[in-house]
Chain A
């Protein structure tokens, strides 16, 4: 059992979360209480602030329940030398997780996938032709992962872009819904995400009523999709208002 000298000793986490594969029966019932006591159609309280990182040209911090995210924007700055000439600007997105963001250390998700999804959902909202030949870097760091990471990153990134003064058609608001048995739950926490049957995420431009990205995974029936989309769009427009008021607030304080 003793580790050989020189080799790194094997470590393990003493918490019992690792070997819990079966979903608790509670989630299959029609009536159950969500882990944080919310209604099924109630979002977590959102806290948004711009100007979190002074070294960046624009930045934002978002906190939705336990999910905490910082996004910094750098640029527009010169594209790398190896890149081809381009009439329109480029967007470079990267999402990373802290080692302590997940319950087990260093067990972060595949962030390439999340980075490309962030890219796709922002691309449609940014006026790329306003900064030709240059690149805007969008870097996100998930400080704590508490479920719904991608939608929070997307909303926070669009707020940071606005803070950096990058021209956009509209803010991008993102909300996801999970399907758990017979129920639809909006803005799921990690625990619910682990046991979900399917998930749906919409990123939209609330005031133009345009959808930049729609992702559906898992098992869905057509009426369910309709219901979930309506829920999401409604929540997006509310989130859009919160984001707008956050920007207004920061603009009015900086003027003083």
Chain B
């Protein structure tokens, strides 16, 4: 998975004058899997896109107010694009982790308001001549992530639970269940798209217990990665 964020400036909607916006897109290019052909996008991609944006926005990971620049005038439009480079099962879990990592690494450029009312990147060279155009977001260089959601996909077959399935396992089995917990182990979403096997309460409880374990693992992995990035 590869995730990247591009930010552009937009005029916020009237109803929410001091909120920015996040657009999340999940792409499955032809390179990632033999079943995807160019010109015919994979069926799974829009589903995962929607699932991701629902999860990220409803989990309250990001405060949209932090993306505001000038109230009612300008705010950040954040495009998060996630590319699947190698599809081998549990795409949603990996994409969610990539999204969380991208947001925690996001560095917002310092910008200022110029005379025409447009936002431009604040550059140090021009500092002398344009003292009057003060940077508008000097203290908002990083997003504060409140709680980071982590996902775990399980396959249910009879009484067995298979966590984190590969692409091959996913193609054989029909009952999937995806659980998203946030960093304080609160349940964010539970997703079971059809499938013949009934999900009993005990099985769901077991899946949630597994997810708890997984959240702990993923948290350490993510923290290590962020620390490494800060050292560089």
**Residues of A in contact with B (beta carbons under 8 Å apart):** 1-3, 5, 9-16, 52-56, 59, 70-72, 74, 77, 94, 96, 98-100, 105, 137, 139-141, 143
Contact = CB atoms under 8 A, between A and B. Distances in A.
Given A14-B119, A55-B34, 9 more contacts: A5-B13, A5-B15, A14-B120, A55-B86, A99-B6, A100-B4, A137-B30, A141-B29, A141-B83
Q: Which 8 A-B pairs have the closest CB atoms?
A: A11-B8, A139-B30, A72-B31, A100-B4, A94-B38, A11-B10, A9-B10, A53-B86
A71 B30 CA distance: 10
B11 A2 contact: yes
A128 B231 CA distance: 49
A38 to B, nearest CB: 23
B81 A98 contact: yes
B121 interface: yes
A184 B4 CA distance: 34
B183 interface: no
Given A16-B120, A53-B86, A141-B83, A9 B30 contact: no
Given A54-B88, A139-B31, A9 B6 contact: no
26 contacts: A2-B11, A9-B13, A9-B21, A10-B10, A10-B11, A11-B10, A16-B121, A53-B31, A55-B32, A55-B34, A70-B85, A72-B31, A94-B30, A96-B29, A98-B2, A98-B27, A98-B29, A100-B6, A100-B79, A100-B81, A105-B6, A139-B29, A140-B31, A141-B30, A141-B85, A143-B2
Given A53-B85, A99-B25, A5 B32 contact: no
A98 B11 contact: no
A9 to B, nearest CB: 4
B120 to A, nearest CB: 5
A140 B85 CA distance: 11
Contacts of B6: 13, 99-100, 105
Given A98-B4, A139-B31, A9 B11 contact: yes
Interface string B57-96: 0000000000000000000010101010111100000000
State which size class the interface on B falls in. 35 or more
Contact of A56 (B2, B4, B13, B31): B31
B85 A52 contact: yes
A98 B37 CA distance: 16
B8 A14 contact: yes
B91 to A, nearest CB: 12
A69 to B, nearest CB: 10
Contacts of A59: 31
A70 B11 contact: no
A152 to B, nearest CB: 15
B9 interface: yes
A82 B14 CA distance: 52
Given A55-B167, A99-B25, A105-B79, A11 B9 contact: yes
Nearest to A7: B13
A117 to B, nearest CB: 16
B86 A96 contact: no
A208 B222 CA distance: 49
Contacts of B85: 52-53, 70, 141
A99 B79 contact: yes
B89 to A, nearest CB: 10
Nearest to A93: B38
Contacts of A99: 6, 25, 27, 79, 81
A59 B33 CA distance: 12
B109 interface: yes
Interface string B1-24: 010111011111111000001000
B77 A71 contact: no
A10 B31 CA distance: 32
A9 B12 contact: yes
A106 to B, nearest CB: 9
A1 B121 contact: no
Given A14-B8, A55-B88, A9 B77 contact: yes
Contact of B31 (A1, A3, A13, A71): A71
Contacts of A98: 2, 4, 27, 29, 81, 83
B98 interface: no
